[in-house]
Structure 1
C-alpha cells in the first residue's frame, strides 16, 4: 500500500514508501525513544497489542503511514486489526478497486472495520474482497448506498454474511434482501444495525430484527417492501426511523410494544411514519424530531394514552415524566405549542427548536399569567435555530429567560448576516438579561448551522446520551 511520510521523516524514507518497498528498505535511524528518539516518542514503548489497537482506530491512510515512524512501528499496521474505509480513495488516480484489492492483499488481518460502496460489491472481485483473510473476524461492516440511489437494488452479496458470528456494527444500504436470505440470518453479537434504502419484506424485516438478540441501536431509513415495524426487544436502547422515499410514505406505522430499555426514539423531521405508538418504554428519555413541516400528513404519536398530532397535543390524559430531551421543528414559531409540550413532558431539561418563519406575537404576560405561577419549568438548556430577532422571537426567548429558574444555557443560532455588534447590542436591550430568572444562565449567539438540521444521524448516533447535541466550531458571541 502506498504510504506517505509525515512529520520528521527523511526524503529517503518518502521515496522508499512511494516505490512500494516500505520503510524496511531504508537505513534511516529509528525515531522511537527506545532507540534514541527522545521523550516525545515514548508511546513506542507501549506493548504491541496496545499500539495495534491505536493504529486500528486511525483512518486507513493514517494507519498505514505509521509504518514509516520508526522500526518499532513497521510491522504494526499489517498485524493490527484492519480499518478499511473506501472514501479517502474514491477519486484516487489508481482507482478504488485496485487500491482496495492491494490493501486486502498486503494486510494479514484480522479485520476491524470494512466500509465500501454497495454498488462496488457485485461480481467476482467483490466476492474476493469479502472472503479475504484480511477481513476475518470482522467487527464492523458498512455497505453504503450510492449517493444518487440505485433504481433497482441488487441482492446483498451472500459473502457479506460470513461475518455474522463476529459483527457488532452493520450498516447495509441500497440493496435487496430476499426472504430466503433473511430467514437464515442470525447475528448473536450485533448491537448496532442500520438499514438504509433497503428492500425487504415485512416478515423478513421482523425476522432480521428478531435475529439480533443483543441489538441496542436500530436505524431504518426509507426502504421499501414493509409498511409496519413492531418492536419487542429487551435490549434496544435507541431507535431511529425515516419513512419517506421521494414523495411516498413507505413506512406507515411503528409500534413499540415492549422495549424496557429504550431510551431514545428519533424521528427524522418531516420524514416520520404516519403513526407511531409507544405502548411500553418506561425508560424513554430522548424524543424527536416532532414536526409540523407537513401539516396535511403530520405524524400521530401515541405515548401510552397521550396523543400528539404533529406538534399539537390532542389528548393529554397522562404526562410522560421520563422524557428529558425533546427536539421540535416548526414552520412558524409558537410559544403556545412549546408550552403544551412542556405540560406533556413536565421533566424536560433540554429543548432543541428549529423554526423557519416568525410566529405570531407571543403575548405571554397577558395570556399565560396564571400558567407562569403554576408551571415548573425545569429546562436547563435551549438550542434554537434560526433566531432573527423579530418581535415573536424576542417574546419567545424572554419567556424562558424571565421564567426558567434553573436555565443554564440558551444558544441562539443566527444567520451570518446578523452576526454583527449592532445586532447584539439591540438584543441585549430587548432580551432583558438584567431580569433573567436564573442568575447563572448564559446566552450564546452562533452562526453555526448545517443542512441536516437535527435529523442527520447515523446508527452510531443512537448510542449517544444526547444525539441532538452539536459542537459549535465557528464564531460565538456571549451575552451575560
Structure 2
C-alpha cells in the first residue's frame, strides 16, 4: 500500500512538472511560438492546433513549412492544394520530391498552382527534386518548371532543383540567395550566366551532371565554395567541359564529383585553399598563364608564359585520386609540390598498390622531390584505395563550417 502511494505521488509530481513546462511554453509570445512551429515537419506543425485554444491560431500565423517528404509522400496532390488553401501565408520552405512509390505524378500545371499560392509568398527555401536517377535511366523526361518559380527571386535564400528544365531567368535579381544546387538540370548557357550574375550574395554553388551548357564562367564577389561534375551527353546535348574562375576573391574550396573530366582555369581566386578530388589524368588545370594537363592517351602537356614570375598557388589542401607512380602522374603531383607555397597537406590515393613501409614512403617522397617543396611545412599522405578519402558529399559544398570536406570511408 505504501509503495503504491509513493508511485502515485511520483506520477502526480511528474505530471505537475510536465504541466508547468507546457504552461511555460504556452506562455511564450506568439512570434516565438510561430518560430517553433515553422521549424517542425508539416504534419507535426499542423497538429499543434489541437493542443489547446492557445495554440489553435499559431500554425496559421506562422510561416508555412511545407515539406512533401515522409509521411506526406502518399498524399494526393489535391490534399496538398488544400493545405496551401488553408494557410494564409507567408511561406518559409517548400520541399517537393518525387520517389517511385508516389501515388501521384507532378506536372507543370500542378506545380504552377502550388507556386502561385499566397500561402508561400515570401518563400525563403525552395527544393524541387524530381528524381535524377529516373532521368538517367530514361524513365522520365525533365519537367519544365513554370515561370512562376521566378516570383521568389527577391526572397529565396536556398534553392535546389533536380531533374527539371529551368525557365529563362533573364535579368532576374536574387539578392538573398546564398545556396544554389542544380542537379541533372537542363538550362542554357546564357540563362545560367544570367542567373549567376543576379546572385549578388551567393556563397555556395553545386553544379552536378547538368545539360545545356559546356562552359561556366565564375565572376562573384561572395562565392566561397563550388562543387562540379559532368556526365556524357548526346552530341546535341551539351555537357560541362570547362570551368573558368575569372574573379572570385572569396572562393575557398573547389570540389569535384565522379564523372567526366573538366578543364579548370583559375585566373583570380586568391583565397582558394582546398582543391579535389583530382584524378590526375584528364583534368586540364590552368593557374594564371601556367597550364598542366595529363591526357587519357598518356601524354603530358605543360605550358607557361616564360616572361611571367614564378607561379604561386595558395592551396592549403589537395587530394589526388587514382594515383599511379608513373612519370606522368608524378609530374602532375610535382606541379603542386613546387608551386603551392602555403600547402599544409597533399593526399595521394593509390589505385593499384598498397601503402608500403617507411622506406617505401621515403622513396615516393624522393620521386616527388618533396625536399624542394614550396611549402616547407607541407605534409604528404599516401592512402590505399580501400582506405581512401571519399568523394565530397553534396552537403559539404554548402556546409562551410566543416573544416575538411573530404571524409574517410572504410
CA–CA separation in structure 2 for the residues paired with 1:263 and 1:232? 14
1:67/1:75 contact within 8 Å kept: yes
Q: Which residue is equivalent to 1:144?
A: 129
1:229 pairs with 2:216: yes
CA drift of 1:137 comes to 0.4
The alignment's C-alpha RMSD in Å is 3.9
CA–CA separation in structure 2 for the residues paired with 1:314 and 1:65? 64
CA–CA separation in structure 2 for the residues paired with 1:203 and 1:288? 27
CA drift of 1:32 comes to 9.7
2:225/2:397 contact within 8 Å kept: no
Judged with a 3 Å threshold, the aligned counterparts in structure 2 of structure 1 residues 154 and 374 are, in CA distance, closer, same or farther, namely: closer
Q: Which residue is equivalent to 2:107?
A: 122
1:110 pairs with 2:90: yes
1:187 pairs with 2:206: no
Q: Which residue is equivalent to 2:311?
A: 318
Q: Which residue is equivalent to 1:131?
A: 116
1:288 pairs with 2:276: yes
1:217/1:459 contact within 8 Å kept: no
1:220/1:241 contact within 8 Å kept: yes
1:32/1:72 contact within 8 Å kept: no
- The TM-score, its normalising length taken from structure 1, stands at 0.65
Counterpart secondary structure, 1:125: helix
1:306/1:319 contact within 8 Å kept: no
Judged with a 3 Å threshold, the aligned counterparts in structure 2 of structure 1 residues 127 and 459 are, in CA distance, closer, same or farther, namely: farther
Counterpart secondary structure, 1:189: coil
Q: Which residue is equivalent to 1:403?
A: none
1:53 pairs with 2:53: no
1:348 pairs with 2:343: yes
CA–CA separation in structure 1 for the residues paired with 2:180 and 2:205? 5
Residue 186 of structure 2 is aligned with which of 174, 182, 199? 199
CA–CA separation in structure 2 for the residues paired with 1:211 and 1:193? 12
1:75 pairs with 2:68: no
Counterpart secondary structure, 2:144: coil
Counterpart secondary structure, 2:199: coil
Judged with a 3 Å threshold, the aligned counterparts in structure 2 of structure 1 residues 206 and 97 are, in CA distance, closer, same or farther, namely: same
Q: Which residue is equivalent to 2:3?
A: none
1:125-179 deviation per Cα after TM superposition (whole angstroms, max 9, x unaligned): 332211112101001111113231165434321221121221122122222335x
Q: Which residue is equivalent to 2:362?
A: 365
Counterpart secondary structure, 1:204: helix
Give the gaps of 5 or more residues in structure 1: 1-30, 388-411, 414-448, 475-480
2:37/2:62 contact within 8 Å kept: yes
Q: How many residues align?
A: 369
Q: Which residue is equivalent to 2:196?
A: 209
2:150/2:169 contact within 8 Å kept: no
CA–CA separation in structure 2 for the residues paired with 1:42 and 1:310? 66
CA–CA separation in structure 2 for the residues paired with 1:185 and 1:32? 56
1:301-360 deviation per Cα after TM superposition (whole angstroms, max 9, x unaligned): 112244343699957942312x22333322558995767644443433355665553258
Residue 461 of structure 1 is aligned with which of 377, 394, 398? 398
CA drift of 1:46 comes to 3.5
1:432-478 deviation per Cα after TM superposition (whole angstroms, max 9, x unaligned): xxxxxxxxxxxxxxxxx9xxx32331486264443615599x9xxxx
1:333/1:360 contact within 8 Å kept: no
CA–CA separation in structure 2 for the residues paired with 1:366 and 1:124? 64
CA–CA separation in structure 2 for the residues paired with 1:42 and 1:378? 55
Q: Which residue is equivalent to 1:276?
A: 264
- The TM-score, its normalising length taken from structure 2, stands at 0.74
Judged with a 3 Å threshold, the aligned counterparts in structure 2 of structure 1 residues 457 and 383 are, in CA distance, closer, same or farther, namely: farther
